[in-house]
Structure 1
């Protein structure tokens, strides 16, 4: 099976690339080789690499910046998603598209299910919701996976920011009244492959089509996430720091965030017979991997003449 993945430098695309094997060939592309705002570049990539399926992991993810950079956010998250869907439909290919918890208002008291009404609170969330609509309109053979609070060893994310700030501060103030589920990009990547295998096994099926929520098991707050990061870090001999819990209103941000980002994964688990592990276990693995990489780099530096 061959998967063409957009957004080469993103956390999910890099995590998918790490799964490349003889059985599952991962071709991760990004600008300038593939620009999802340019339909012709997508058509060319599909013609050259002849994938079995396309994963659209490319996205404009600067949530606060999107408030003043709306054209760019919609160009990627709405129009770009539509271009990828149209190109895959023209080639007779299914598409897996990555979306977000930010399509919801966050005012529900329970975890959101796929049939709940959407209501984005910021431009990023609105652009991603419009992207979902563009995907569904352009290619019936689609799977839209909403995930949340993504982190990994790659790029910039909350976990890596916390570890960096621990070296600069005595205390970190973190929001404690926004609820959701930290989700490890390598676990997302493995689940995407499982979804792709399900599609390959039943390409004409209808059960796998549509919108699904795919996050790790369990839930917490941003402050709870930070505390777990430093608990795991300290157990590995890494930095630890005191977390001061604050409310969302005390944290300066341009874009509004949903208070409740919890997503029910029941439909995803039932359809694809797979699930992501508990978020705490994944945090431990991520930190172990980061520290191991740092140790290897330090040793290599010492051994360099």
Structure 2
């Protein structure tokens, strides 16, 4: 990829949690062409090719995804189209252009059985369709040979969209007590954190004296989550402690077996950010700090 002083950056999915934050964080790194589903529908693979070929971006940043984890169990084709086939097309087109591709994946590529934190080289074994579709997307991007950064994150939340934080705030205002799963552990990760760290890494890429060499050295998979970990129950309690609700609801811990869902979730979603930090010198804030900032900024 040739170094550009003012690269064109194609950003997908700007109405999503991460896409919305990226639309702001990427400003200053180049000309950001930010598209929602109306401008770029990833389910339409022909349109994906056409838009990329017309725009000829130097960078493609793809936070768009099919994220309805339980619905994916029955909407298999839709999940695979958005999470596997569309990224494959983006990667093919990026390879032809010599462009870099940034893509986001998930803790759900793992089965959650490891005793300890997951690293990038651990074997994958997704337990649900969503995780299978995201893993297929990772594999297609790597197979394309394009310059790429795949960031695996977990338990994403923000002040917009559909997520655990907003669900808890809504239910907490309506109910005196809530039952929340306490035996699944991970790192709640603010969408703003993901966007900020992505922008930091891409600033390094655009500033590199030899962009080809930079991408050759850094292409691959990285875990990118908040620091620390908690359970869904712990996350809920932390949300209510910062939310300033008139009355604090009681949060009752329950096992995942007491709250069955169509899609099986990993018991352990903890992932190590050591590779990210060693490669780019960036470190995510503790999940509690990020949560406090997110709620304060609502």
Q: Fold-level match, TM-score > 0.5?
A: yes
Runs of 4+ in 1 over 6 A off after TM superposition: none
1:55 aligns with one of 58, 61, 66: 61
Give how far 1:241 is off. Answer: 1.2
Structure-2 separation of matches of 1:48 and 1:38: 16
Structure-2 separation of matches of 1:273 and 1:182: 21
TM norm structure 2? 0.92
Give how far 1:84 is off. Answer: 1.1
Give how far 1:113 is off. Answer: 0.3
Residues paired across the two proteins, number: 288
Structure-2 separation of matches of 1:238 and 1:224: 20
Q: Which stretch shows the higher mean deviation, 188-197 or 141-150?
A: 188-197
Give how far 1:41 is off. Answer: 2.2
- Pair 1:221 & 2:228 matched: no
1:83 aligns with one of 79, 89, 101: 89
| SS at structure 2 position matched to 1:97 | strand
Structure-1 separation of matches of 2:196 and 2:17: 13
Look up the match of 1:118. 124
Q: How does 1:191-230 map to 2 (within 5 A)?
A: 191-200=197-206, 201=208, 202-205=210-213, 206-230=216-240
Structure 1: runs of 5 or more not aligned:
291-305
Structure-2 separation of matches of 1:242 and 1:125: 32
Q: How does 1:1-305 map to 2 (within 5 A)?
A: 1-19=7-25, 21-200=27-206, 201=208, 202-205=210-213, 206-234=216-244, 240-290=248-298
Change (3 A) 1:268 1:238: farther
Structure-2 separation of matches of 1:203 and 1:73: 33
TM norm structure 1? 0.90
The question of whether the paired residues in 1 share the 8 Å contact of 2:26 and 2:199 is answered with: no
Structure-1 separation of matches of 2:246 and 2:49: 47
Change (3 A) 1:221 1:46: same
Give how far 1:17 is off. Answer: 1.3
Give how far 1:87 is off. Answer: 1.5
| SS at structure 1 position matched to 2:265 | coil
Structure 2: runs of 5 or more not aligned:
1-6
Look up the match of 1:303. none
Give how far 1:27 is off. Answer: 2.5
How big is the alpha-carbon RMSD for the aligned residues of Structure 1 and Structure 2?
1.6
Q: Which stretch shows the higher mean deviation, 203-212 or 118-127?
A: 203-212
Structure-2 separation of matches of 1:9 and 1:21: 16
| SS at structure 2 position matched to 1:59 | coil
Q: Which stretch shows the higher mean deviation, 17-26 or 256-265?
A: 17-26
Structure-2 separation of matches of 1:152 and 1:2: 27
Give how far 1:20 is off. Answer: 5.1
The question of whether the paired residues in 2 share the 8 Å contact of 1:195 and 1:272 is answered with: yes
